[in-house]
Structure 1
């Protein structure tokens, strides 16, 4: 079995200059935990995880202790919190190779690319679901 057989093809992306308010809105409305960051030519340049976003936002947002400086964290840009130079994988790679790469690099997803074109994303959850079938 290959990556292309189980990868998620319907992906969400944000631009490098999009604000964390948008990133938060996407995560709040979607069932996934990885957001791919692209440049103006739609080339992959980073990944923001759900955890990355929450580390970048003030823990006081939407609480009684919220101040203006807490709300300002929503104005940070995607490129300020994304993981740069993400590890990627080809669609025709084996699932064993993908799992090995994720374990070796201690990452939870692999953007699937072909010649700089973004085809999908493979997460640890996709691998576990494939194992269960």
Structure 2
């Protein structure tokens, strides 16, 4: 699972000479929040977001409405963009989990994707959520069960073995450290073509493991 598989290819982009009024219109009409700013050969020069396009009222001072209109119409993307040296980017061959880590650690909502300095895509927080939906088969009818187990080798194999023993297939599987329980791990499994009662009966007997949530979704 690499960035190139989940990024938005051929994203909307802006030239530095584009007015901020035009940039706002482009973003509003296409429901996007980030615009890479590129120069010749689609090389990254900067980034504008909805926030960077907001003009600080203090810059307008005591201007009247006509002066404000003239001032805003004269502003370009180059005047407000985040310069390329300050933009956090990522390579298309980076893993999706590395991209998520960078976005969380750097507190950014998007990562322009660069290959040899050229913008080839953009990865946004919305793309990451869409990836999570795919991983967990959101929207596909199934039984979703969360099983808490000791965080030791072999525990996940026990759970998968119990499911396989019933002849069931796994639609989706994920896991994370159990909240507020050090040394425990929560595995989330989605299984199709079964009932909640069948899953509960099959997995409640797995030694050392506990069903903490089960639902049909």
Q: Normalising by the residue count of structure 2, what TM-score does the alignment of the two structures yield?
A: 0.54
- 2:76 corresponds in structure 1 to 77
* RCO comparison, higher one (Cα < 8 Å, 6+): 1
Structure 2 gaps, min length 5: 58-63, 135-217
More strand by share: 2
Runs of 4 or more, structure 1, over 3 Å off, are none
Using the size of structure 1 for normalisation, the TM-score is 0.86
Q: Return the offset for 1:13.
A: 1.1
Aligned counterparts of 1:8 and 1:57: Cα–Cα separation in 2: 31
1:128 lines up with 2:129 in the alignment: yes
Gaps of 5+ in 1: 59-65
Give the match's secondary structure for 2:40: coil
CA contact under 8 A between 1:57 and 1:73: conserved in structure 2? Answer: no
Q: RMSD of aligned C-alpha atoms? A: 1.6
The CA deviation string for residues 42-89 of structure 1, in whole angstroms up to 9 with x for no partner, is 211111111211x2276xxxxxxx701321213201111111121110
How many pairs does the alignment contain?
125
Q: Is the 8 A contact 1:15 1:40 kept in 2?
A: no
Partner in structure 1 of residue 95 of structure 2: 94
Assess if the C-alpha contact under 8 Å between 2:41 and 2:118 holds in 1: no
